[in-house]
Chains A and B, each alone.
Chain A
Amino acid sequence: MSEKVESGNTGPVKADQVIDLKGLLCPMPVVKLSIAVKKLPTGAVVEGIATDPGVMADIPAWARTSGNELISIDQQGKEYHFVVRKVK
């Protein structure tokens, strides 16, 4: 199960901050992500690593609702990795 979102960039995007969301369940992954994003400047890139399968639906929804950009989200074994860029 993997979903790649086109960002216009080729190759991996370097994250300004990596957040560890392993072991956390709803609503903590989006809450921690939003707290991290709030502290960063516009354009900053955050990478998150989670173990809750719910993030596959929740992180894209969070990006749409909050107006931020989802660069990629995919499953790697038992982990879910995603990269978002702060738009506003």
Chain B
Amino acid sequence: METDNKLSMVVFSGDMDKVMAAFIIATGAAASGIDVTMFFTFWGLKAIQSGELTGKSLFGRMLGIMNRGGVDAIGPSRLNMGGMGRWMFKKMMKSKNVASLGELRNLAVEMGVKLLPCQMSMDVMEIGTDKLIPAACPPAGVAAFIEEAQHSKTTLFI
């Protein structure tokens, strides 16, 4: 099996710290001349949502309310403390001049990182294509990810 100079990543987590790691690795790899594909599934979808309310059914709308706000509204996996942790981390990162999640995502897009949304998660969570950021690719499934992964020297699950 011929592998190309590619990196494929499953972004399963929707926590601020883990999504941050994913985008740092993605931009660093793109900067090193590697083709990067990020496959966003389940909670990870939040990283490429526009932040608008989603959902059609009662549960879908409830989830949409809990999940609103897009990439700037996600909290860290630990010590979020009802949003205080998110606020604190953002303040600390800003004071140390670390790029914000939104900036990192824009950079990734500029550098040609492919943002692939998971169709099945979008169906289950009732998130339409119109509720994703415009830079996201058309949604795809596991076979599309496996095809990318088969050609990649590096695969990650975050």
**B97 pairs with A27, CB closer than 8 A:** no
- Of chain A, the residue at the smallest CB distance from B24 is A27
A26 to chain B, nearest CB (A): 7
Binary CB contact string for chain A from 16 to 36 against chain B (1 if under 8 A, 0 otherwise)? 000000011111101101110
- Of chain A, the residue at the smallest CB distance from B108 is A31
Q: Is A66 an interface residue (CB 8 A)?
A: yes
The complex places the Cα of A72 from the Cα of B123 at a distance, in Å, of 52
The complex places the Cα of A24 from the Cα of B103 at a distance, in Å, of 13
Q: Which residues of B contact A24 (CB under 8 A)?
A: 97
- Of chain B, the residue at the smallest CB distance from A58 is B28
Q: Which residues of A contact B31 (CB under 8 A)?
A: 27, 30-31, 33-35, 62, 66
Q: In chain A between 56 and 88, which residues have their CB closer than 8 angstroms to a CB of chain B?
A: 62, 65-67
B19 to chain A, nearest CB (A): 14
The complex places the Cα of A26 from the Cα of B96 at a distance, in Å, of 11
Chain A residues in the interface with B (C-beta under 8 A) = 23-28, 30-31, 33-35, 62, 65-67
> What are 10 A-B interface contacts by the 8 Å CB criterion?
A27-B28, A28-B99, A33-B31, A34-B31, A34-B32, A35-B111, A65-B33, A65-B34, A66-B31, A66-B33
